[in-house]
């Protein structure tokens, strides 16, 4: 990781990838013998102004994290070296595994503020320890999938390719944003390793440096087309886009005798719609009606929508940075909160951050045209009309059933996006989707409050959380 | 990485963590025998409106990446399996190493738009291949260090702790944002593994869940204080902040007999300044003048500045999400561009994205009070008044000298921030810092344009890049 690394043999995403307070709390729980069943929920408090819905992603990585959780000897030795942890606690760590239950909303599902995305029921120490990384994994992929879904809706069926490795926030961000955008409906990624790890289709064109390294642009095109296996895309905008398009026409004639076709050209700067029209005209006039136009450069859902509205003859898009970092909303106000311990409901009452107690479930109703009509949040066991969103994933630390494949999650996302009420699938802010709290949950929250160590503040009732 | 991983034995940040086009270009260069020395520069085209300067970070990881670059058999086998690459090219990969030169601005340095942060001179294929990951590493840490530096300036000397693991964009983002914020002057991090890997001081308090899991808040405080080795911080805002502060006072009397002191309390919601004043009064009246107040919750440089201006009695801050994702500017418009190949200057002329040719250097002048006065960008070898910013790092793929340690980079950052012209160290937008282009570089660019395959567009001259 670094030449200033103090310890070399620690895994980068192991048990120490956690906030220090998880470990100091664990030590306190250990000292006082507290390890009854705790229920924690992960949810998003509020949506950013530019999100009408969330598209959930990251569950596969979260499950992998939970099922592989363990402390290595090197990790325990490092903890010991800090002088913060006593021997009895450290000796409890080698045997620690995640042995609890997990219920979660499947990847590719649509969710809203206040709805549990994931619910853990596990011995307190296990459920507490996993907080930081569980949030880290689910938060990020949901951030990206929700942004990417907007791009997919805006592109009106034209293929989108993830181009964002270089400005993603590190290696894992690049890999997981490739994955999350694929779940949301992107056609593939330029990130080679994401292809290898996840089986996502990979795409690539050429960089300006390739053209610049040659003394002659046409020579660069020829070198590239000859060496490329598959559908070569030639980059037109290094010097003069339209002049380059004329060169491609000439070149295509020469290469036809070698049975090489110019599958595609790429535009990466300037007025993409105007250049696309000019280039389309030049290519068509030159007999290259089959050559497609690929565009990239600072694209996001708003620019995609503008290009779609202008009927620019662009066949596919590379969408990078602004999608991968979710530039207009790079984080979600998500939380992971204790809702039950040792069989008793728990809630936090902090100003502006109060939470609901108990084990919650969400039911979704659809209208006669299979559009989402409204959600009801209630307690598990309180049957409501509609389909429950949370499904069992782990029981006793083991998989209930195989998770959906990446392709299945992507299909599910496509189907879910198809059930959005029309206003919610627009880019501009829609009226809130109706998420209501069932009487059973309200009653339970009041009952829990009566048992709280302090009198309830009325404002908390008047301003229900979620 | 994932249960839908197609290939399990690939390193997550190895040679395949690159855009596919780097590899297809490499194959084309290989086929045509092109591998002369190429010079590439990494720079930021334009600063976000809310950044007056950049604080450079990430060089240590970039150097580690370059010096460890190699293709494993598994990676080459995967590339072969795609059917995109021919045998001659694949056979060139096992021996590929980075054998070039690297000059770079040291970590913790201040930089501006258009200035090279890093310059590679290496055989074309090596210099091209490393583009994606080199940018990925330097871009992200520079994004975070630049944001964190604003927080440090706004906090006016009060310690800041990185709290952002949970909403960082993945594992590496959490670890590297802990590192980058430490370079910028943060006092430490809550991310345990960042402490282990980089030797950064780690800090932790307790979560609301710890309080909630206990039936009684005071009992939770006692359990925590008794088990904690070091300076326990008790979280006050789970139910009622001021009531909790009174409990701490009572509790401190009881714990004194056990030689346990309450070092600190934490506020995490509501009006932090108002609660801090109330809590300070309660603690002082209870004889806890030594107990410090720590605050967290949606903080960024603007909120830190407001709290500092209000003279709130807060001793230290936890700063998370908004710093770690650089919420107002989660990416920089950075580029990695070919500026010379085979001894000839090269430049890109794309609309709005033109670049300077040649091997550039930056000289910085200081006034008599050791404040930065202005930078001149010129060609390497054209001596200018001031101090050159880029220094040799690698020669022939090997370290010229050990890199500065993390502590040295942090010291350098502190010194650099001390040389900022006063307007630039404010949070609001300052007039541009003067960065001028030396005549030698202008002349060279014109000379390169005369050799370009097409006539120069006058607009490119009128609107010089950088």
Q: How many CB atoms lie within 10 A of CB B450?
A: 8
The answer to whether residue A257 neighbours chain B at the CB level (below 8 Å) is no
**Residue A102: which residues within 8 A CB-CB, separation 6 or more?**
A63, A66, A118, A119, A120, A392, A393, A394
Q: What digits encode the pLDDT tens for the residues A157-205? A: 999 999 999 999 999 999 999 999 999 999 999 999 999 999 999 998 8
Q: What digits encode the pLDDT tens for the residues A20-69? A: 999 999 999 999 999 999 999 999 999 999 999 999 999 999 999 999 99
In a domain, A4, yes or no: no
Q: How many helices (H) and strands (E) does chain A have?
A: 17, 19
The answer to whether residue A240 neighbours chain B at the CB level (below 8 Å) is yes
SS3 sequence of A288-302: CCCCEEEEECCCCHH
In the prediction, which pLDDT does A459 show? 35
The answer to whether residue B252 neighbours chain A at the CB level (below 8 Å) is no
* Coil/strand/helix, residue A191: strand
Interface test with B, best of A275, A326, A350, A408 (most B CBs within 10 A): A350
| Contact criterion met (CB < 8 Å) for B166 and A321 | no
Q: Which of residues 407-446 of B touch A (CB under 8 A)?
A: none
* Coil/strand/helix, residue A420: coil
The total number of structural domains in chain B stands at 2
B407: nearest CA in chain A? Answer: A4
Question: Between B135, B169, B197, which is nearest A2 by CB?
Answer: B197
The answer to whether residue A349 neighbours chain B at the CB level (below 8 Å) is yes
Q: Are residues A386 and A439 in the same domain?
A: yes
A176: nearest CA in chain B? Answer: B170
What is the CA A414 to chain-centroid distance, rounded? 15
What is the CA B198 to chain-centroid distance, rounded? 14
| Contact criterion met (CB < 8 Å) for A326 and B330 | yes
| Contact criterion met (CB < 8 Å) for B136 and A195 | no
Distance in angstroms (rounded) separating the CA atoms of residues B153 and B161: 14
In a domain, B314, yes or no: yes
Q: Which of residues 191-210 of A touch B (CB under 8 A)?
A: 191-193, 195-199, 202-210
Q: Are residues B314 and B345 in the same domain?
A: no
- Which structure tokens are listed for B370? 């050791």
In the prediction, which pLDDT does A13 show? 79
| Residues B174, B191 contacting (CB under 8 angstroms) | yes
In a domain, A6, yes or no: no
In a domain, A10, yes or no: no
Calculate how close chain B gets to A90, using CA atoms only, in Å. 13
Interface test with A, best of B21, B180, B234 (most A CBs within 10 A): B21
Residue B252 exposure: Cα atoms within 13 Å on the Cβ side: 24
Q: Which helix (H) or strand (E) holds A337?
A: strand A334-341
| Residues B54, B420 contacting (CB under 8 angstroms) | no
pLDDT at A452 over 70: no
A403: nearest CA in chain B? Answer: B3
Q: Give me the residue label for tokens 């100091």.
A: A24
Calculate how close chain A gets to B322, using CA atoms only, in Å. 8
Q: Are residues A320 and A339 in the same domain?
A: no
Q: Are residues A308 and A176 in the same domain?
A: yes
Q: Are residues A134 and A168 in the same domain?
A: no
Q: Which pLDDT band holds residue A347 (cuts at 50, 70, 90)?
A: confident
The answer to whether residue B231 neighbours chain A at the CB level (below 8 Å) is no
| Residues B245, B279 contacting (CB under 8 angstroms) | yes
Residue B130: give the domain boundaries: 20-145+330-462
In a domain, A1, yes or no: no
Q: Are residues B139 and B216 in the same domain?
A: no
Q: Are residues A37 and A120 in the same domain?
A: yes
Q: Are residues A266 and A159 in the same domain?
A: yes
Residue B253 exposure: Cα atoms within 13 Å on the Cβ side: 9
A460: nearest CA in chain B? Answer: B239
Radius of gyration over alpha carbons of chain A, in Å? 26
- Which structure tokens are listed for A233? 């895309």
In the prediction, which pLDDT does A462 show? 32
Q: Which of residues 73-102 of A touch B (CB under 8 A)?
A: 75, 78, 82-86
In the prediction, which pLDDT does A453 show? 55
Domain end marker among A303, A324, A345: A324
Distance in angstroms (rounded) separating the CA atoms of residues B75 and B7: 10
Q: What digits encode the pLDDT tens for the residues A415-451? A: 999 999 999 999 999 999 999 999 999 999 999 988 7
The answer to whether residue A139 neighbours chain B at the CB level (below 8 Å) is yes
Domain end marker among B298, B324, B350: B324
In a domain, B1, yes or no: no
In a domain, A31, yes or no: yes
In the prediction, which pLDDT does B1 show? 41
DSSP secondary-structure letter at A110?
A: E
Which chain A residues are within 8 Å of B14, Cβ to Cβ? Answer: 193
Angle of helix B171-183 relative to helix A171-184, nearest 10 degrees, comes to 140
In the prediction, which pLDDT does B165 show? 98
**A391: closest CA among A54, A63, A53, A35?**
A63
Average pLDDT over residues A214-230: 90
Q: Are residues B162 and B224 in the same domain?
A: yes
CATH code at position B309: 3.20.20.70
Q: Are residues A255 and A141 in the same domain?
A: no
How many CB contacts within 8 angstroms connect chain A with chain B? 440
Domain end marker among A287, A306, A324: A324
| Contact criterion met (CB < 8 Å) for B457 and A349 | no
- Which structure tokens are listed for A361? 């479930």
Number of residues that this document lists for chain A: 466
| Residues A59, A393 contacting (CB under 8 angstroms) | yes
In the prediction, which pLDDT does B9 show? 57
pTM as predicted: 0.95
The answer to whether residue A330 neighbours chain B at the CB level (below 8 Å) is yes
**B362: closest CA among B115, B47, B112?**
B115
Q: What digits encode the pLDDT tens for the residues A233-254? A: 899 999 999 999 999 999 999 8
Question: Between B165, B166, B173, which is nearest A169 by CB?
Answer: B173
| Residues B390, B361 contacting (CB under 8 angstroms) | yes
CATH code at position B70: 3.20.140.10
| Contact criterion met (CB < 8 Å) for A20 and B191 | yes
Q: Are residues A65 and A194 in the same domain?
A: no
Q: Are residues A141 and A162 in the same domain?
A: no
Q: Which pLDDT band holds residue A9 (cuts at 50, 70, 90)?
A: low
Which chain B residues are within 8 Å of A64, Cβ to Cβ? Answer: 1-3
In a domain, A370, yes or no: yes
What is the CA B117 to chain-centroid distance, rounded? 13
Mean pLDDT for back-to-back runs of 10 residues, chain B (466 residues)? 45 89 96 97 97 98 96 95 95 98 98 98 98 98 98 97 98 97 98 96 92 94 87 90 96 90 94 98 97 96 97 97 98 96 88 86 96 97 95 96 96 98 96 96 92 47 34
A206: nearest CA in chain B? Answer: B21
**A366: closest CA among A357, A354, A358, A374?**
A374
Q: Which helix (H) or strand (E) holds A267?
A: strand A264-267
């Amino acid at each position: 990781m670094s030449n200033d690394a103090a310890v070399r043999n620690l895994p980068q995403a192991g048990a120490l990838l956690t906030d220090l307070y998880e470990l100091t709390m664990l030590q306190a729980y250990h000292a006082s013998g507290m390890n009854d069943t705790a229920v924690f929920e992960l949810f998003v408090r509020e949506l950013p102004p530019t999100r009408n819905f969330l598209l959930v992603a990251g569950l596969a990585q979260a499950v992998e994290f939970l099922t592989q959780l363990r402390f290595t000897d090197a990790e325990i030795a490092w903890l010991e070296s800090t002088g913060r942890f006593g021997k009895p606690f450290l000796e409890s760590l080698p045997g620690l595994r995640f042995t609890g239950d997990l219920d979660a909303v499947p990847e590719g599902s649509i969710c809203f503020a206040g709805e549990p995305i994931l619910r853990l029921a596990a011995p307190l120490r296990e459920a507490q320890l996993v907080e930081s990384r569980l949030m880290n994994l689910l938060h990020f992929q949901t951030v990206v999938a929700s942004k990417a879904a907007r791009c997919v809706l805006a592109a009106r069926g034209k293929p989108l390719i993830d181009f964002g490795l270089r400005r993603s926030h590190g290696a894992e961000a690049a890999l997981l944003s490739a994955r999350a955008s694929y779940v949301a409906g992107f056609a593939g990624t330029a990130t080679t390793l994401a292809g290898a790890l996840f089986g996502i289709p990979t795409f690539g064109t050429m960089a300006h440096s390739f053209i610049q390294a040659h003394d002659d642009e046409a020579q660069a095109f020829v070198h590239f087309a000859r060496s490329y296996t598959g559908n070569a895309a030639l980059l037109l905008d290094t010097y003069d886009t339209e002049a380059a398009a004329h060169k491609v026409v000439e070149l295509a004639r020469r290469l036809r005798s070698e049975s090489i076709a110019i599958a595609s050209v790429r535009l990466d700067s300037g007025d993409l719609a105007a250049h696309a029209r000019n280039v389309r005209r030049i290519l068509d006039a030159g007999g290259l009606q089959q050559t497609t136009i690929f565009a990239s450069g600072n694209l996001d859902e708003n620019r995609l929508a503008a290009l779609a509205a202008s009927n620019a003859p662009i066949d596919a898009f590379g969408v990078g940075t602004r999608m991968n970092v979710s530039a207009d909303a790079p984080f979600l106000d998500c939380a992971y909160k204790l809702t039950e311990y040792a069989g008793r409901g728990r809630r936090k009452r902090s100003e502006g951050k109060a939470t609901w107690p108990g084990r919650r479930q969400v039911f979704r109703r659809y209208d006669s045209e299979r559009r989402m009509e409204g959600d009801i949040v209630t307690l598990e066991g309180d049957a409501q009309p509609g389909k429950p969103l949370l499904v069992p994933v782990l029981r006793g630390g083991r998989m209930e059933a195989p998770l959906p494949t990446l392709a299945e999650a992507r299909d599910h996302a496509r189907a879910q996006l198809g059930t959005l009420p029309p206003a919610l699938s627009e880019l501009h802010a829609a009226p809130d989707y109706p998420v209501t709290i069932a009487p059973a949950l309200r009653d339970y929250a009041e009952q829990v409050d009566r048992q709280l160590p302090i009198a309830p503040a009325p404002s908390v009732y008047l301003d229900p959380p979620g």
